[in-house]
Structure 1
Amino acid sequence: MGVCVTAAVLEVGTQVRFEDRTWTVVMLEGARVRLVDSDKATATVLVNYLFAAPDFELVGAPRPQVPPFGLLEELPVQARERAEAWERHVREVETGLPVPGQGGAPRAEFDPAQRTVAEREEAKAAELTAAGQPTSAVTVRRMRARYREKGLWGLVDQRTARRRSVVGRADERVVAAITQVLEAQRERSSGTLSRLRRMVGWVLEETHGSGAVEVPPVTTFNRLVHALADGHGLLGSAAQQRRRTSRPAPPFTPTVALRPGELVMLDSTPLDVLVVLADGVTGSVELSIALDVATRSICAAVVRPVGTRSVDAAVLLAQMVTPMRMRPGWETALAMSRSVIPYERLVSLDARLEGAAARPVIMPETVVVDQGAVFVSHSFIAACESLGVSVQPAPPANGPAKGHVERTFRTIGDRFSQYVAGYSGSDVTRRGTRVEDEACWTLAQVQDLLDEWLVTDWQHRPHASLRHPLAPKLALSPNEMWGALVGVTGYIPVPLSADDYIELMPIKRVAINDYGIRFDYRTYDHKVLNPHRGDPSGAPDGRWEVHHNSYDPNQIWVRLPTGWEEVPWIHRGCVSLPFTDFTWQHVRAAVERRCDRVEHERQLAQALDRLLRRASNGDGTRREQTVAARASAAASLARPAVPQAVPDLVAAPTLSYGLVGAFTPLEEEDQQGETGFEDSWDEDDDLPGPTDADEPARDERPDSPAQVQRPSRIYDAYQEAAQW
């Protein structure tokens, strides 16, 4: 009984190498082999395990190898045919037949029963020599040994199997010098090939001495440089090199999500459209979106002037869980009731969906964000925690980690932005000469156009990457995919209350002093603070939690033991036009402090009102007009589209999906993603202190919301929450 291993046989008495020892086979039983070594140690091993061991071999017989068929296919035809001819000759010497298994009688000079191996080798050498291929018996013996060791690959002329070097026969010293210079130039400014050639000459001279190694001619040198650098990011402009080197190393694992909300990607990018802010002032805008990976639905989209803030990121979360209302003038075909979404079943679970547009309402479980200050700010993290959403930052400079949302931005540019008046191109090299003259849409109108495009085109267009679980050849649209998955995963409505809206705002921890709450050169006061003036909050730092809206600094919200309380700015009645934190910072930089802080705050409020009035009338500087235009854009976003006897915020073009009207970003933000605060002016806010000698009289402070309330076009959280 024996087990055949190609040309060798494993049988009782065969010696084998296994686990760095020599063993003798003493028994073969089924699929088991019993081994004994020279020290009389025994081992029982499965045959399959024995053959698969890396160090296994039969003593005196080479380990068989499978020929590298892929390398054989790469050989020139003549070299492969010559190796196959040698294989037939070797087999005839070994077995007597050129092709074993075909039957027939061997020729007399190659019959193993009549001739020895040496005689057969001599006969084969004489036959080949007579055929015009001079060969000796030693050559035949060598070819037999190579065939037993490597099979057909051993008979190949290895000169034909050599892979050609990309640098050919270039001097290795020159190649090393070019590589060294290319690597040294990777992070430097772009240069020419002539500079590179001169630097290579310097390296060769320093390394091998003057005149020892010559630099190749210009044409040869340039060809050699391209052979070494092309495809490795070592040539091209500095910007191209940075893009190549910033790309993370592959392989890239595909991002997979199996249910709506399981993975949502948030990101911002400039929208290639100029808009009219107000009074003919044009400006760039930025687009922030939330993309559900499982359904490819754009669950939220916010268009704002350049400078996304952390509060804008929180707006995306609120939009996702709030239905988009149908706008005046929209076709009825865009309603959720007319779409493939299972409307009847969903509206029985969530009455808010009645009259909603055909855009999914998805509660995110995990959001993927980049390393931007906006998305890793404390305000955004707190907003996610309040909604039970996990935040997963993507690795730095890793585009593939959020490739879905990057590809979506590209599609928005191709299918939406370039068709909008005021299209500015993806960069300055693609921009027209008078694009600002084409800008005829306001910020609110661009937002409305984008929302309609999302429902009309994006949500109803089949995506090649969306496949039905039971029909993998059928490409689905985002709405169809959501309809298919929501029936499996279920749907739970997440209505936001007024307190939820306040929770999404940026946070500041301050003290409640006798004069109220002061930060960023503004004082907020109200009688609801009376029981808590000078008292610590009970938190470890003794401060009170305050939420504020950077786009409407007229009031703040303080978390008191009784709940949230709105506290107004004591000078809000002095400013008649909407303003933002950026507008306030602009005034602070222009007004020098020459008095106590109470009087200085009053002067700042008056200067702010004068600036807004002057700029809105076209009398200010270009900078002031831009500030006023952006403030007007904020007001237009919060204004209902159709006048109604009772303000219906649900029907407002920018309030219909939640917090957009609440946070109307106008200006840029500091690098931390939140409003900066002055420590020097508010240094006494560290701990509750005594009454300030310069504080205003108590009867000048607002005593009730009715006293400080004035007609405002800014979002009211309580009124919005009441709509749902």
Structure 2
Amino acid sequence: MRVGDQVRLDERLHTVVGLSGTLVRLADEAGRASLVLLPHLLAAEGFEFLGQRDGSPVVAPFALLDTVPPLEAEKATAWEQHLLELESGRQSGIGAGAGLRPEYDPALHTLEERIAAKATELRALGWTVSARTVERMRTRYRDQGVWGLVDHRKTRLSSPTGRADERVVAAVAEVLADQLNESAGTRGRVRRRVEALLAEQHGAGVVPMPSKTTFYRLVEAVSAGTHAFGSAASRRSHARRPEGMFTPSAACRPGELVQIDTTPLDVLVILEDGVSGRPELTIAVDVATRTICAAVLRPAGTKAVDASLLLAKMLVPEPLRPGWPEALALSATLIPHARLLDIDARLEQAAAKPVIVPETIGIDHGKVFVSDAFIAACRSLGVSVQPSRPATPTDKAIVERTFSSINTLFCQHVSGYTGSNTDRRGAGVEAVWTLAELDDLLQEWIVACWQQRPHDGLRSPFLPGRSMSPNDAYALLVARTGYVPLPLSGLDYLELLPAVWRSVNDYGIRIDHRTYNCPELAPLRRQPSGLAAKGGLWEVHYDPYDLSQVWVRNARTGEWITVPWTHQHLVSTPFADFTWRRARDLLAMRGQDDTNQAAVAAAVEQLLTRAETGPDRRIAARTRAALEPARSVPALPQASAPEDAEDETTVLEQPSNVIPFGVFDAFTDGSRL
């Protein structure tokens, strides 16, 4: 039994208004109170427990009165004054000392007599009411308060589709759902498809179609919030939202949950082959502090080794690079640098970004993050991997929002900014920074801006009115959770590199037409590794961004052997695998042998030199198109390029005869279409 329950006792309806131990305070419909022992009440003859009254709110919905038209609200207030006078004999607002109106005195007249008197008074004021109306309004006021006195015909909610035929509404909804994965069209296309669907389902002419204006209003109401006629990408993203409510990703300590993802950066950079292009950015964001734990900038086509490298960079302090001001040092922040330095000596010259060891990493289903190399790297470091649901970006909302913030806070201020789409791209946008230079700018921006900037999503429960920066949030949490470093050795980095399996021959090891050899391979030449699962091949690790050397694991001793490239002396700087493939493509297009290591090394050197001096902006786009043919193009017989030529284009000795097209005339030729 609870306060508010109703019981029937002595053939009267009572409401429980108070409970104290075994004492129950009851109030009947007339308002008379009584105090009864609970055992006596339960044993009384004729006792019946009715429970709560259905549909009768305890408190009137006062806020709903703000939705009532002013005239109806005044009428409801007037009814309330008259009903209060009917019950007590006094109008609301009159002092307790004021006299009672004789015709409404409860001591002199019964309830039926007072109701009849009130109906007569209201009719005299011009109201069209009867005694039955007054009694009904009294009951509604007792159950619902002032809200029960409102004419609810004035508060009915209007339907978004109005009085449209339900069959037309259903057809519009079905057509809009069917074009989810189509290109964005117009409402005219929807109208034509709706007409065909109604004719197919109900017969031609059975369901009348509304006018064009009415139909367009109906389509606007049905498609509200679905981007049916806007961006196709936004429409698909909206449709992929989970049906349940959004649950924010929460973490109570640094590293408890780290989200990782990759996206193209909206900035043109000069790549190693001298051609401009958009790089890809891979970042890891700590949910608890919003810290960008690590960021890796690579050309298009991020590899599993990049994700593994990102994982390794998270565990290493960001050094205070030459040229950075002392204000960007870790010791200049609120982070307890002196106490952390006693635990991890690597933080002595660290920049203002904390080292966060991840416990769980949230990933999507990109092939980079579900690769065996990345999963094995996480497993070796004791990091759990938490995949998100397919096609559900809301599962990694924090890292997705971080990409948007990087675009607005950093990318749009960089020369070569392309905008998020072609509609936002300016004229004559050219690449200015190289990939390495842009990476340096990004790393400095993360330390100087992102880690120092207050975030609205970072607030302490003790200071809810003040937003914190990622460094401030880390300083607050690390004092409570502590810090345990996880340093990596050089061997650990080798384990994170991708591996291939090769045989060791007299000439060494060959990978993609590159030969690696050194004297230390002598005991392994023409010998099986003993690993039957790999056919006796040897495990070779390589760095895709520095092909000047590889590392071979001796399966018998477990030691690593560093093996240099035999033609390393022909290339002055380290180069990546995509640079090697580009050089081979150049030789193949010139008709030369692309398996000749010396020739490829010379082409690599030419590429790196041209990238250092800068590309010709006028031919950069043509060069990129020429270097990526959809099919092999045979050499023209009229052109014989010299062996030492550096230009990939072929010049014809005799220009061909060009037969121009005639100009289309709509007035004379239109009838032939």
Pair in the same fold by TM > 0.5: yes
TM-score by structure 1 length?
0.69
Are residue 481 (structure 1) and residue 434 (structure 2) matched? no
The 3 A distance-change label for structure 1 pair 144 and 510 is: farther
Question: What is the match of residue 500 of structure 1?
Answer: 492
- 1:520 is displaced (CA, Å) by 6.7
Does 1:71 find its partner at 2:64?
yes
Amino acid corresponding to residue 75 of structure 1 in structure 2: V
What is residue 124 of structure 1 aligned with on the other side? 118
In structure 2, list runs of 5 or more residues that go unmatched. Answer: 17-24, 27-33, 615-673
Query: Take 2:580 and 2:155, find their aligned partners in 1: how far apart are those partners?
Result: 75
- Contact 2:579-2:604 within 8 A present in 1 as well: no
Cα deviation for residue 586 of structure 1 reads: 6.8
Which residue is 1:533 aligned to?
528
Deviation digits for residues 46-105 of structure 1 (CA, Å, limit 9, x no counterpart) = xxxx7xxxx7258xx996653332333311122223233334444544555555995756
Q: Does 1:274 align with 2:268?
A: yes
Shift of 1:446: 1.7
| Equivalent residue, structure 2, for 1:199 | 193
Provide the residue aligned with 2:42 in structure 1.
35
Q: Which runs of 5+ in 1 are unaligned?
A: 19-24, 44-49, 593-602, 618-624, 634-724
- Residue 80 (structure 1) aligns with: 73
SS in 2 for 1:327: coil
Aligned pair 1:354/2:343, yes or no?
no
- For the Cα contact (< 8 Å) 1:17–1:57, is it kept in 2? no
Indicate the residue corresponding to 1:155 in structure 2.
149
**Correspondent of 2:385 among 385, 391, 395:** 391
Q: Kindly tell me: are residues 222 and 579 of structure 1, through their superposed partners in 2, closer, same or farther at Cα, counting changes over 3 Å?
A: same
Give the distance between the partners of 1:208 and 1:443, measured in 2 at CA.
Answer: 62
Equivalent residue for 1:491, pick from 473, 478, 483: 483
Q: SS of the counterpart of 1:268?
A: strand
Query: Aligned in 2, Cα 1:591/1:156: closer, same or farther, shift over 3 Å?
Result: same
Answer yes or no: is the 8 Å Cα contact 2:501–2:534 preserved in 1.
no
**Which one of the candidate residues 327, 330, 335 is aligned to 1:336?**
330
Separation of aligned partners in 2, 1:369 and 1:62: 49
The equivalent of 2:600 in structure 1 is 611
Whole-Å separation in 2 of the counterparts to 1:130 and 1:234: 59
| TM-score, structure 2 normalization | 0.74
Map Cα deviations across residues 294-352 of structure 1 (whole Å, 9 max, x no partner).
33332322221111111111111221222233333333333334444433333333222
Where relative contact order (Cα < 8 A, 6+ residues apart) is larger, the structure is 1
Deviations 1:1-58 (A, max 9, x none): x99969x87656657999xxxxxx99975677853699x9x99xxxxxx7xxxx7258
Q: Is the 8 A contact 1:513 1:533 kept in 2?
A: no
1:555 pairs with one of 547, 550, 553: 550
* Cα shift at 1:466: 3.4
- Tell me how far apart the structure 2 counterparts of residues 216 and 99 of structure 1 sit (CA, whole Å): 53
Residue 460 (str. 1) matches residue 452 (str. 2)? yes
- 1:497 deviates by 1.2
Cα offsets for 1:491-528 (capped at 9, x unmatched):
33322112211121224577899999888778878345
Structure 1, residues 392-447: CA drift from partner, whole Å, max 9, x if none? 223333333333323332332233223333222222222233323xx332222222
1-structure distance, mates of 2:377, 2:15: 66
Work out whether residues 287 and 301 of structure 1, in 8 Å CA contact, stay in contact via their aligned partners in 2.
yes
Summarize deviations over 1:365-389 as a string: whole Å, max 9, x none. Answer: 2222222111121111111112222
Provide the residue aligned with 1:674 in structure 2: none
Q: Which amino acid aligns with 1:345?
A: R
Q: Secondary structure at the match of 2:157?
A: coil
Q: Does the residue aligned with 1:220 lie in a helix, a strand or coil?
A: helix
CA distance in 2, matches of 1:107, 1:338: 80
Using the alignment, how far apart are the partners of 1:97 and 1:17 within structure 2? Answer: 25
Superposition RMSD in Å: 4.4
Kindly tell me: are residues 87 and 528 of structure 1, through their superposed partners in 2, closer, same or farther at Cα, counting changes over 3 Å?
farther
Which sits farther off after the overlay, 420-429 or 104-113?
104-113
User: Which of 434, 441, 444 is residue 442 of structure 1 equivalent to?
Assistant: 434
CA distance in 2, matches of 1:173, 1:219: 18
| Residues in 1 aligned to 2:474 and 2:136: alpha-carbon distance in whole angstroms | 69
Measure, in 2, the Cα distance between the counterparts of 1:352 and 1:564.
27
Q: Shift of the alpha carbon at 1:181?
A: 2.8
Letter in 2 for 1:457: C
Counterpart in 2 of 1:409?
403
Q: Paired residue for 2:179?
A: 185
Contact 2:274/2:611 (CA < 8 Å) preserved in 1? no
Aligned residues of 2:273 and 2:611 also touching (Cα < 8 A): no
Are residues 462 and 521 of structure 1, via their aligned partners in 2, closer, same or farther at CA, if it must alter by over 3 Å?
A: same
AA in 2 matched with 1:74: T
Q: Aligned equivalents of 2:587 and 2:8: distance in 1?
A: 98
- Secondary structure of 2:281 counterpart: strand
Query: Once the 2 structures are TM-superposed, how far is the Cα of residue 291 of structure 1 from its aligned partner?
Result: 2.2
Equivalent-residue separation in structure 1 for 2:420 and 2:2 (angstroms): 70
Aligned CA distance change for structure 1 residues 550 and 382 (closer, same or farther; 3 Å): same
Partners of 1:34 and 1:561 in 2: CA distance: 90
Q: How many residues align?
A: 588
| Residues 528, 537 of structure 2: 8 Å contact kept | no
Paired residue for 2:132? 138
CA contact (8 A) 1:271 1:286 kept: yes
Q: Is the 8 A contact 2:7 2:13 kept in 1?
A: no
Q: Give the secondary-structure state (helix, strand or coil) at the position aligned to 1:560.
A: coil
Instruction: State the distance in 2 between where 1:202 and 1:279 align.
Output: 55
Q: C-alpha distance in 2, partners of 1:208/1:72? A: 45
1:561-616 superposed Cα distances (whole Å, 9 cap, x missing partner): 422323748x7448944554446667899999xxxxxxxxxx8742x442342364
Counterparts of 2:185 and 2:499, CA distance in 1 = 49
**Which residue of 313, 316, 336 maps to 1:319?**
313
Kept in 1, the 8 Å contact 2:294–2:314? The answer is yes
In the alignment, is residue 263 of structure 1 matched against residue 253 of structure 2?
no
Deviations 1:469-490 (A, max 9, x none): 7655444433333334333333
